[in-house]
Amino acid sequence: MAQDAIANTGYQEVVSDWSGDRQAFQVPWGKAMMWIFLLSDVFIFGCFLSGYMAVRVAAVDPWPNPAEVFALSFGGDPIPLILIAIMTFILISSSGTMAMAVNFAYRNDRVKTATLIFITAVFGAMFVGMQVFEWTKLIVEEGVRPWSNPMGAAQFGSVFFMITGFHGMHVTIGVIYLITVAVKVMRGDYDNPRPGKGRYELVEIAGLYWHFVDLVWVFIFAFFYLW
């Protein structure tokens, strides 16, 4: 790119990219738009988590201990947070397979890309399935409601359903998104015989969304389940 000759290091590059009435981001437009959408999503989850902090600090009743609430027993003693730990590992694995998919997409390996995206979607569906199990257990067996629960501070339920529900919705939408992308890759929609004209950046864009869902879970895991 010609403008790189003028200034291409550090802050000079930023000034150069943002000035001169031209494209600021040297990436495909879809990728820039996905990043900006994800930035807005950062603020949504940021507001949820800050709100969670506010109601937890202001709660006068003791906050229920997540390690006990989310413990699960396989016949023996209950293991604290075990389901949440498994869900975390599943989501990380799905991020790994997605990263592989993006890598094979840029190598124009149609079958491997589609397979890996599909595996990612399966991991995502497993995650949502476990979340459904978790919600059911909490609602039916533990009697947790958005307005009250038997363990302590009433705010626990509303925060839990709000945050994990919104995240679960993101995962669900992501699974649908990934399946459509996998089908398109498999059909060869992104192939183009002309060199450099393939549209495999669309796989990377879907990957950005998926990694973001994993990223949000990192924060939820830390602040809601472990804190």
Partner 1 sequence: MATAEGQQHPISVYFWVWGLLFVLSLFSYMVDYFQFQGMLRWTLIIIFMLLKAGLIVSIFMHMVWERLALMYAILLPPLLLLVLVGIAAGESDYTFLTRLAFFDEVTEFTGHH
Q: Which residues bind partner 1 (CB under 8 A)?
A: 10-11, 13-14, 17-18, 24-27, 32, 35-36, 38-39, 42-43, 46-47, 50-51, 53-62, 67, 80-81, 85, 88-89, 92-93, 95-96, 98-100, 102-103, 106-107, 196, 200-201, 204, 207-208, 211-212, 214-215, 218-219, 221-223, 225-227
Give whichever of 139 and 145 is closer to partner 1, judged by the CB atom.
Answer: 145
Report the distance separating Cα 133 and Cα 27, nearest Å. Answer: 41
* Least separation in angstroms between CB 151 and partner 1: 11
Nearest residue to 45 via CA among 214, 227, 189: 214
Between 24 and 139, name the residue whose CB sits nearer to partner 1: 24
Q: Is 185 helix (H, G, I), strand (E, B) or coil?
A: helix
**In the complex, what is the shortest distance from the CB of residue 4 to partner 1, in angstroms, rounded to a whole number?**
10
Q: Which is nearer to partner 1, 5 or 140 (CB)?
A: 5
- Give min distance, CB of 21 to partner 1, in A: 15
CA 113 to chain centre: 20
> Minimal distance in Å, beta carbon 2 to partner 1?
15
Smallest gap from Cβ 162 to partner 1, in A, equals 15
Helix (H, G, I), strand (E, B) or coil at 195: coil
CB of 117 to partner 1, least distance (A): 14
The Cα–Cα gap between 106 and 113 comes to: 9
Nearer to partner 1, 118 or 212 (CB): 212
Which residues, listed in sequence order, are joined to residue 79 by a DSSP beta bridge? 72
Q: Hey, CA dihedral for 91, 97, 100, 106, is it positive or negative?
A: negative
Which CB, 7 or 139, lies closer to partner 1? 7
Question: What's the token pair of residue 185?
Answer: 């890759």
What span, in angstroms and rounded, lies between the C-alpha atoms of 141 and 144?
8
Closer to partner 1 by CB, 98 or 119: give it.
Answer: 98
Distance (Å, whole) CA 94 – CA 197:
28
- Token output for 203: 């796989």
